[in-house]
Amino acid sequence: MASLFNFGAFMYITMNQLSSRLDVGRQALFFGYAAIEVIIVLLAVAFIPTHQDRKTKRRFRLFCSSIYKSLFRAPFSPASPADGTALPHSFVQSTLTTPVAKRGSRIDWKEGKTKFKSLMMRLWNEAKRPEFYLLCLFYSISLTVISFYAGATPDMMKQKGDDPDNPIYLSVLFPLLSNMHPVFAPIVGYVIDKWGFPWSFGLSAIFLQIVMGLTLVPSLPLQILSFVLFALNSGFMFASFFASLTLLFDSAVCGQLYAIVTGVATAIGCLNMPLITYTQQTENGDYTNTYTILIAITFVLYVYPVFLFYKSKESKLSKLAATVPFDITGLEDEAEDGVPTLSAPLLGHGQHDNHQVVAHAKANHDEHTRAE
């Protein structure tokens, strides 16, 4: 989903090419873009509930009701929404048809107040976790560096020898290659599923540092590699951020958590303004010292993946009790009640590791059974 969202950047490239090569006027481009938006809005209205009956509180859609309902069917057993899993089909349908208290009544006001307090408590419990602080720091620094890199690219390409009359690197290669992260979405998904968030966030930091380092090299053809790695960094960073925000935190308050992270990232992103002033006035347009400072700051990004990695090792048996309903010997870090636990795969241990632990536990169980 994150990759598809960022894929919309190609619209700017398309409009630029239509304007420069086919001599399409701005009025035609804007009307065409508006027509596309109208189609998208109609599709959204078709699939998303548009209104509800004031008496029965039932929600209605214009059409495509059967298709809309099929989107909410969970292919697995019901689970708690706090686990980051999809809600069962029966639960979703009940929320669409269950009557609620009359709006404005005393019961409705009390229920709303109670739900609000409960929501704020869940939000506070998630916001005070160290994972959330480190996620805010990782996303804010990454977004600040990415924004500075994208803004400084025109000057950097000119300094490296891009033709000002026909800037191929700036007008074609940079927007085309740097927005190719949807192509790398399968790789990003495989890394997250196989090795977990510690590796995906770590690779994002590594790619970002390599991109910043390549930008300092006075070689114009080498910047093609930096554009590709920039797309990889964006793919890993955005996909890991949104996936971890949903899977590692309470999904009921992930919207509020995202708002907090966005606010923090916006505040930290304001640091780009003094950096630009310093580069233009003090360094006379030379980005060497500024990029060196940014590369040094990006080392802070490794704190979050390292934290996730060590936390996954400490709780590596947190879910084994739910998988293997018998005692296990030969495994470390048992819980206080004697029941081993196993961590969630996305914290760093994939399905392959879980299967090995389960196989080891079953082998021990069979050995004890034969001994008895």
Q: For 131-150, how does the pLDDT look when each residue is reduced to its tens digit (9 = 90+)? A: 999 999 999 999 999 999 98
> pLDDT band for position 98 (50/70/90)?
very low
> pLDDT band for position 61 (50/70/90)?
low
> pLDDT band for position 252 (50/70/90)?
confident
* Phi, psi torsion values for 51, nearest 5 degrees: -160, 175
* DSSP state string for 52-101: E-TTT--EE-SS-HHHHHHTT--SS----GGGTPPPPHHHHHHHHH---P
Q: How far apart are CA 135 and CA 206, in angstroms?
A: 16
pLDDT tops 50 at residue 96: no
8 Å CB contact between 80 and 100: no
> pLDDT band for position 305 (50/70/90)?
very high
Alpha carbon distances (Å) from 169 to 42, 93, 139, 244: 38, 52, 28, 34
pLDDT tops 50 at residue 89: no
pTM of the model: 0.67
At 20, which helix (H) or strand (E)? helix 10-20
